[in-house]
Amino acid sequence: MPSAIPSALIAAQVQGALDEDVGGGDLTALLVPEGPAHAVLSTREDGILCGCAWFDRVFAQLDPNARIDWRARDGDRIAAGMVLCEVHGRARALLTGERTAINFLQTLSGTATRARRYADAVAHTRAQILDTRKTLPGLRLAQKYAVRCGGCLNHRIGLYDGVLIKENHIAAAGSIAQAIARAADIAAGRMVEIEVETLAELEEALAAGAPRILLDNFALEDLEAAVRYTAGRALLEASGGITLANAGRYAETGVDFLSVGEITKSLHALDLSLRLSLL
């Protein structure tokens, strides 16, 4: 299992989500008598479960005495019709928290599920799938966590923990070699990667000692040529035009990584249902 997200961050995200949904109070929940209730969460489709801590926190903030009994945990494969957990607490609290809790769980499970499908698509190769910074605003760490639950790896978390040199940076620095040298000074001990768009630029990057190179929108035959030419002198990452349908072929070129923004930016939220009964 990947390392957990700090509980303080989860609490803040949940509180923000509840604030925008509940506002001054849940009017509809007042239709229900205040008393004990029981709810069952199930999934209507197959996938990878992710987001249990966010789900738990929603109900904990609304009813400190609520109890959730999980039958699956983050990273588990789940099947349509499966009961994922049972929730016990005050009826109004369960109804108030239902949508917020499911929103977190279905979004993160959708991310994890997509990541798992990509991981499975390249499992016959040595390549690994990376995410990108194309995440939902405010949910960067949560989605990065979901990607790991799905069996893929994280690229940079943000702009602070690594350097990715792109064409604008190269132009400003004056050359590929100067950009790499400058980045090495600025980001000592952190990841430094440079994006190239042609085999000629790849040669320049290797000559400058680039430890990691992103091959942007390379054709398959050019990726294969890049792998042969590099011969292990740097880590190679392919990006651009990679889909679930062709990821396996891209991985077969011999690159080390494939980066795929779609995992986090174009997700399909898992279809979940919470059914409540009064006690």
Say whether 211 sits in a helix, a strand or coil: coil
Nearest to 218 by CA among 236, 193, 244, 240: 240
Q: How far apart are CA 17 and CA 136, in angstroms?
A: 14
Bridge-partner residues for 195, per DSSP? 214
| Residue 6 CB neighbour total at 10 angstroms | 10
Q: Which two tokens stand for residue 97?
A: 């928290």
Element (H, E) at 275: strand 272-278
> Is 140 one of the annotated active-site residues of the chain?
no
* Catalytically annotated residue among 140, 166, 182, 265: 166
* Catalytically annotated residue among 134, 140, 233, 249: 134
Nearest to 264 by CA among 108, 111, 47: 111
Residues 6+ apart with CB under 8 A from 132: 155, 259, 260, 261, 264, 265
* Catalytically annotated residue among 63, 216, 237, 256: 216
Q: How far apart are CA 154 and CA 264, in angstroms?
A: 11
> Is 182 one of the annotated active-site residues of the chain?
no
Say whether 26 sits in a helix, a strand or coil: coil
Nearest to 148 by CA among 43, 10, 5: 5
* Catalytically annotated residue among 21, 45, 86, 99: 99
User: Whose structure tokens read 């132009």?
Assistant: 171
> Is 265 one of the annotated active-site residues of the chain?
no
> Is 166 one of the annotated active-site residues of the chain?
yes
Q: How far apart are CA 240 and CA 57, in angstroms?
A: 37
User: Whose structure tokens read 């390249």?
Assistant: 122
Residues 6+ apart with CB under 8 A from 125: 248, 251, 252
* Catalytically annotated residue among 195, 201, 237, 256: 195
> Is 144 one of the annotated active-site residues of the chain?
no
User: Whose structure tokens read 């997200």?
Assistant: 5
Catalytic residues: 99, 134, 166, 195, 216
